[in-house]
Structure 1
Amino acid sequence: MSWLHVARAETPLILAFPHGGTDIPAQYLPAYRSRDRALFDTDWHIRRLYDGLAEATCVWTDVSRAVIDGNRDPSGASLYPGQATTGLCPTETFDGEPLYRDGEAPDVEARRDAYHAPYHAAIAQEIARLRARHDRVVVYDCHSIRSLVPRLFAGELPELNIGTNGGATCDAALSDAVMAACGDRSSVLDGRFRGGWTTRHYGRPETGVHAIQMETAMRAYLDESPLADGGFPLWDPARAEDLRTDLRRILAACLDFAKGQI
């Protein structure tokens, strides 16, 4: 599968990237109102942000979240009942703008089988491989989002948003260590983002698998000004390097926890 990638390491840390892809297969493109609009909610430059920060297994997809959202429940059940959100095959942007032309709709079952299932099979395989070697494994789900999305939440997001589904997906020692490693940056634990399907599905502390989601407000590493004109955010080297310093410390804390050192 040319769109699915696994880069293996032997440490007990897995980084997952479900939303960094920008590929929309040619057969799907005619149904969208705009390719640019379909890509608007991408986790821009997310793999570049984390590149080289820790020795970890990485799993990522090149396929856009507008095709399939790898961090949604495959049953279609909402992760945030009663709140605005997007689905397994999004039909609108975070702002509520329709993605598809009138009369067009995605074949959710086909896309789930073609993309969602293989992506998660790869993650599950890496968890099993590493769990056979280590007493603990940490699954760290990497995300970013615009700092302001009024339809989803009020006001500006903290820079670092950690999700553990109220502590259900990992030991408190891990979430405490991650929060401490955030340093002076604005951060919150289990605020609007409590962790998506990846975190909730794999996080089983009693089995030695601890999962945590990091949702980063894009202003922490990108220039968001092009968004006002419908463009895409731009890599900001200075901001990104500052954030990478903090993320390196956060991932080190994850590894220390996985190795039983905290």
Structure 2
Amino acid sequence: MTSDFELFEVREPEAQSIPFVYNSPHSGRRYPVSFLEQSQLDGISIRRSEDHFVDELFSAAPRMGAPLLMAHFPRAYVDVNREPYELDPRMFSESLPSYANSQSPRVVGGLGTIPRIVAENMEIYGRRITLAEAMERIDRCYKPYHVCLRRLIARTHARFGFGVLIDCHSMPGNIRVAGSGVRPDFIVGDRYGTSASAELSHAALQFLEELGFNAVRNKPYAGGFITEHYGRPARGLHALQIEVNRSLYIDEASLQKRPDFDALAGSISIFMEQMAAFVEDYAGETALAAE
């Protein structure tokens, strides 16, 4: 792949003053022309998998003293919140290598590392693509992105003795919690307690609820590959996935921002400040140790 745009970006604070790394892996909205030419979807449909403007909702991170990593390439092109080789054999003109994971639930659902569909179950491609193209996307986008994310987390952990990764996402407005019919405004995912301490998760839920939002934990989104892979509470590395309901801030048909977009971004900034203060108060204490 050749590209005329930066594939991803780190927005750094003047000096990192809090042990947080913010990550927006799915808000990329710069689509390579060659990819659009391959796709059978129109310009709006191809964007249905985006975490629309999530990078902007969490853009206060550098001002607060934390780096913000964000992809510019779109999730429909390559998804960095997957294992590196979750590949769907139905998509390719050649056989997959033996190390590919072709049986994961995400692959079966069409949402592997190289997605087959966008979120509303619409097929991206009208014909099979080459395996070489998939590998090129993984080599040029996926691998460097994770190298960058690992460095940010390692740097933070070395500087502060622990670190908190906030993986920032959005979800469709029609999402409901199974068995209750509740429509959450936010979902805090910690891989069912394995990627972050319970105290950190509970604090996030409490702060969001105090801001007037309906917040739930792990249902229906508990966190993806990034949360699972980087969250190591026993080593002082905590990872939370935050899902924001898109209907709060965009028109989901036109993908345009709603008038109250800035108000939501302001509330999220308050939430980020509260999380930073909470971690500062409890740094080094057993409250943030693995249970």
TM-score between the two structures when normalised by the length of structure 2: 0.79
1:143 is matched by which residue type in structure 2? H
Residue in structure 2 matched with residue 191 of structure 1 by the alignment: 219
Matched, 1:28 2:28: no
Larger radius of gyration: 2
The unaligned stretches of length 5 or more in structure 2 are 87-100, 284-291
User: C-alpha root-mean-square deviation of aligned residues, in Å?
Assistant: 2.6
Local SS of the residue matching 2:60: coil
Query: Residue 68 and residue 81 in structure 1: after superposition, are their counterparts in 2 closer, same or farther (change >3 A)?
Result: closer
Distance across 2 between alignment mates of 1:254 and 1:162: 13
Which of 161, 164, 167 is 1:141 aligned to? 167
* Cα pair 2:192 2:222 within 8 Å, conserved: yes
Question: Secondary structure of the residue that 2:193 maps to in structure 1?
Answer: coil
Match of 2:51 in 1: 43
**1:19 paired residue number:** 26
**1:187 and 1:163 mapped to 2: Cα distance?**
11
Q: CA deviation at 1:46?
A: 1.2
Aligned length: 254
- Aligned equivalents of 1:201, 1:242: Cα separation in 2: 33
Q: Which residue in the other structure is 1:223 paired with? A: 251
- Give the corresponding residue for 2:256: 234
The residue that corresponds to 2:113 in the other structure is 88
What displacement does 1:67 show? 0.7
Q: Corresponding residue for 2:68? A: 58
Distance 1:165 1:90 in 2: 22
Give aligned-pair identity as a percent. 25
The one-letter amino acid paired with 2:22 is: L
Give the letter aligned to residue 136 of structure 1: F
SS of equivalent to 2:169: strand
Q: Contact 1:13/1:258 (CA < 8 Å) preserved in 2?
A: no
* Equivalent residues of 2:46, 2:76 under 8 A apart: yes
Shift of 1:81: 6.6
CA distance in 1, matches of 2:247, 2:182: 10
C-alpha change, 1:14 and 1:136, in structure 2 (3 Å) is same
Q: Which residue pairs with 2:127 in the alignment? A: 102
Q: Deviations over 1:113-169 (max 9, x none)?
A: 11111111101001111111102211001111221269xx89674110111000100
Structure 1 distance, partners of 2:270, 2:104, is 29
* Residue number among 1, 4, 8 corresponding to 2:8 in the alignment: 4
Which secondary structure state, in structure 2, belongs to the residue aligned with residue 237 of structure 1? coil
Change (3 A) 1:74 1:140: same
Could you tell me whether the CA contact under 8 Å between 2:59 and 2:68 is conserved in 1?
Answer: no
The answer as to whether partners of 1:14 and 1:56 remain within 8 angstroms in 2 is: yes
Structure-2 change in CA distance of 1:138 and 1:95 (3 Å): same
Which segments of 5 or more consecutive residues in structure 1 lack a partner in the other structure?
A: none
8 A contact 2:25–2:71 mirrored in 1 = yes
- The match for 2:234 is 206
1:209-240 deviation line (CA, Å, top 9, x unaligned)? 1000011111122233xx1xxx3x221232x2
TM-score by length of structure 1 reads: 0.87
